[in-house]
Amino acid sequence: MQFGIFTVGDVTPDPTTGRTPTEHERIKATIEIAKKAEEVGLDVVAVGEHHNPPFIASAPTTTLAYIGAQTSRVILSTSTTLITTTDPVLIAENYAKLQHLTDGRVDLMMGRGNTGPVYPWFGKDIREGINLAIENYALLHRLWREDVVDWEGRFRTPLQGFTSTPRPLDGVPPFVWHGSIRSPEIAEQAAYYGDGFFANHIFWPASHTRRMVSLYRRRFEHYGHGTADQAIVGLGGQVFMRQNSQDAIKEFRPYFDVAPVYGHGPSLEDFMRETPLSVGSPQQVIERTLGFREYVGDYQRQLFLMDHAGLPLKTVLEQLDLLGEEVVPVLRREFAALKPAHVPDAPTHASLVAARDAQPPLVEEGLLEAGHATEGTRA
Amino acid sequence: MTTVVVISAGISVPSSTRILADSLGTAARDHLGEQASYDVIELRDLAHLITDNALTGFPTGALADAVRRVAEADAIIAVSPVYTGSYSGLFKMFVDVLEDDTLEGKPVLIAATAGTARHSLVLEFAMRPLFAYLRADVVPTAVFAASEDFGAGSVRGGSLSARIDRAAGELADRVLRRGTTLPDDPFENPTPFEDLLNNGPF
């Protein structure tokens, strides 16, 4: 199982001091946080994409390339890539380039974004959100898999004899997750392609996440990619820890109370009960996180939101120490002990290359179908 | 089993809005026959949860339960006090919590209370357009009760009770014609991906 962090790149005043970091400080902090994530043994660093204040999350591949140059092991991902308003040709090029530069340490999470004006700013119609996500990804999927693409759709100028460069590293496109808080269409899309499905998880109750993941798993099996419990699931999470749980609650509460998204609303205690937010001791975070498996099944990727709501860099780095030293090693061991052998790990570049090379290319389709008919023949 | 859900946005206890809500619920049940029941959602009890929902985007606890009951109801009776020339803010906040398609095609009876009959057209100029936007099937008779309507004898005597009876009859008639329907569950029956790929609204 993979563990990591995801950020939305918000520039938020620290409510305990009133100080707002500069964009420069926040951008540099993002790099420090990513390097720390690798140092403490996490597997994934995902950065968001926004095109408006108070975020510093534009140009995600620039950020990821810079992180990639200063790390050697951590997988670079997105949370999310705006598949609706970004030209799929640019996504194909940018992330294939990033794949080469980082020797395959790249995957992506597609999302539709939640800022209405982004659509008109990029010349799109928000009412077409789902249709944009579907058509743009269909094109991106082909650009990474076919050397020469002829294409015509509704939302961008047609392509004749177009080759997206560079071609994906080793001829294997980056693995893609589709992220959604609440759209069943996106779970359906992830299932259709056999891609990963990432449930944001942190802003809504567990009962909702369970429905989304269950739909994705059922449809993943329907489309013949394996059994439902072999589908590739990722979850968000949100934690704040101190050795003494009361210290954690006392320190985090002022940040929670005025945080973007849910601030000035439910109490910290109510929000902890209704959503996966865990504020307490490392042991409490471990127990809560292990509980996610009870309603989504064995899953492949757990990302934590650690650096939002104005938390100072120093605190975030301390949190990552706790996460990497006390929480993740236990979670790794416990989740691994619970996971049945036929449930796969999250795909990586190496595993995707190996899977591709294991199949004679000309009869690939036939093999896949044989694999569907009798479970386990591919193993 | 036919279920009518009555939404009452009255704030005071006891409230004339709740009295009207119960009268309408009882009348609807009488028109629908022995198999019918009605069930009241008091928005006052949900006010904090409704505010939380406005800020977080999801309903919890008793509010989640109320939203589910509205979605599963065969008909809705919506009763609000008139505040500042319109339905109350709490009433609108609850309606805002509902998914856009929750009330689509659902029979709805609208009603309101106020201190004076001068507010009676609030039903036609504010409440009916709200439910028209939600594509609800709003019955033609809307029931308005001013304080004076509760004055001369019981609610069930005089013209208010005649209006209640007519509106409840219209509601029952819609329910019986429509039959019992449950909303589509996109998690149980997702749109197949091929349709998503091919059926964009060209």
DSSP string of B139-189, one letter each residue? -S--EEEEGGGGTSS-TTSHHHHHHHHHHHHHHHHHHHHH-------TTTS
Check B187 against A211: CB less than 8 A apart. Answer: yes
Nearest CA to A166 among A101, A97, A99?
A97
Instruction: Report the C-alpha gap between A330 and B119 in whole angstroms.
Output: 65
Residues of chain A in Cβ contact (below 8 Å) with chain B: 128, 130-131, 134-135, 138, 154, 184-185, 187-189, 191-192, 203-205, 208, 211-212, 214-215, 219, 223, 261-266, 270-271, 274
As a whole-number percent, the residues of chain A with pLDDT over 90 amount to 91
What residues form DSSP beta bridges with A179? Answer: A198
Segment A120-160, tens digit of pLDDT:
999 999 999 999 999 999 999 999 999 999 999 999 999 99
The answer to ipTM > 0.90 is no
Indicate the CATH number for domain B2-198.
3.40.50.360
The pLDDT value recorded for residue A333 is 98
CA angle B156, B157, B160 (to 5 degrees): 75
Torsion angle defined by CA atoms of residues A61, A65, A71 and A75, in that order, rounded to the nearest 10 degrees: 40
Instruction: Report the C-alpha gap between A154 and B115 in whole angstroms.
Output: 56
Domains of chain A: 2-347 (3.20.20.30)
Segment A155-191, tens digit of pLDDT:
999 999 999 999 999 999 999 999 998 899 999 999 9
Exposed/middle/buried for residue A57 (C-beta within 10 Å: 0-12, 13-18, 19+): buried
- Distinct helix (H) and strand (E) counts, chain B: 8, 7
For chain B, the domains span: 2-198
Check B202 against A154: CB less than 8 A apart. Answer: yes
Q: Which of A134, A185, A266 sits opposite B56 (nearest CB)?
A: A266
Judge whether residue A261 has pLDDT over 90.
no
Q: Chain A residues with CB inside 8 Å of B201's CB? A: 131
Check B200 against A135: CB less than 8 A apart. Answer: yes
Q: Chain B residues with CB inside 8 Å of A271's CB? A: 56
Residues of chain B in Cβ contact (below 8 Å) with chain A: 51-52, 54-58, 60, 64, 186-187, 190-193, 196-197, 200-202
Question: What average pLDDT does chain A have?
Answer: 94
Q: What pTM did the predictor assign?
A: 0.90
**What are residue B128's phi and psi, to 5 degrees?**
-65, -45
